[in-house]
């Protein structure tokens, strides 16, 4: 793992450890979301869909952005949801969301080695 990768992992772990875990079960995340976002350093926006399934304390995420399928693994701590993801043939990345009272999520994301962040908002489409 590169030095930048270790720093990102360390920061994500420290961030997640700063919030209590007992509230995690109270926020329902499973379901399908409409995604709208902007890429780091880009004025362009994108849309797509994210599907979240829970496996114990871990969440599996599949983003479908155009023809690209991104797969990730996330954890929930209080009202914050953090995930790592891997687009096919591209660098892995990290996203950190804050859950909102209306069930949507809003956050920042970046790819390993990038020097800027993108924005992403998820709006619930369906819940199990």
Torsion angles phi and psi, residue 32, rounded to 5: -115, 135
Quote the percentage of the chain above a pLDDT of 70: 77
8 vs 2: CA distance, rounded Å: 10
pTM, rounded to two decimals: 0.76
Query: Class for domain 3-126, per CATH?
Result: mainly beta
pLDDT per residue, tens digit, the chain (128 aa), is 455 544 444 444 444 444 444 443 456 899 999 999 998 877 689 999 999 999 999 999 999 998 889 999 999 998 899 999 988 888 999 999 999 989 999 999 999 998 999 999 999 997 65
Q: Where are the domains of the chain?
A: 3-126
Tell me the two tokens of residue 1: 């793992």
């Amino acid at each position: 793992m590169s030095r930048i990768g270790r720093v990102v992992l360390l920061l994500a772990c420290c961030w997640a450890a700063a919030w209590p875990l007992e509230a995690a079960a109270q926020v329902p995340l499973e379901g399908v979301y409409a995604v709208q976002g902007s890429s780091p350093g880009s004025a362009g926006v994108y849309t797509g869909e994210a599907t979240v399934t829970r496996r114990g304390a871990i969440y599996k995420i599949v983003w479908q952005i155009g023809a690209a399928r991104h797969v990730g693994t996330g954890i929930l701590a209080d009202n914050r949801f953090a995930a790592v993801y891997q687009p096919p043939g591209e660098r892995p990345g990290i996203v950190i969301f804050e859950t909102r009272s209306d069930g949507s999520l809003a956050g920042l994301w970046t790819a390993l080695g990038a020097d800027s962040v993108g924005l992403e908002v998820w709006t619930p489409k369906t819940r199990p």
